[in-house]
Homo-oligomer: A and B are copies of this chain.
């Protein structure tokens, strides 16, 4: 599966009342990342309930793990202080039923 895209899933902890601040920060990162080689697409999810453990979850597709790591290793991205706690990792699909 080496040539399949990889999937970045990033679960964000966003306290109540900070949605607007989160979205501004997320959009800034998205604008940077989508201009990088290997970026394919992204989809940002917001929980229906404000009290979910992860108020926002981003699911993005990249051409490869290497492309994602090269993009996020760039100083403009790497040296930003994250505004919210997050849990990010790269994934592959192991079960699918669509």
Contacts and interface: CB of A to CB of B under 8 A. Distances in A.
A92 B43 CA distance: 10
B53 A89 contact: yes
* Consensus secondary structure, chain A interface: strand
A38 to B, nearest CB: 15
Size bin of chain A's contact surface: 35 or more
A89 B52 contact: yes
B90 A49 contact: yes
Nearest to A40: B98
Given A9-B57, A87-B11, A89-B54, A95 B44 contact: yes
A79 interface: no
Given A9-B57, A54-B11, A57-B9, A48 B89 contact: yes
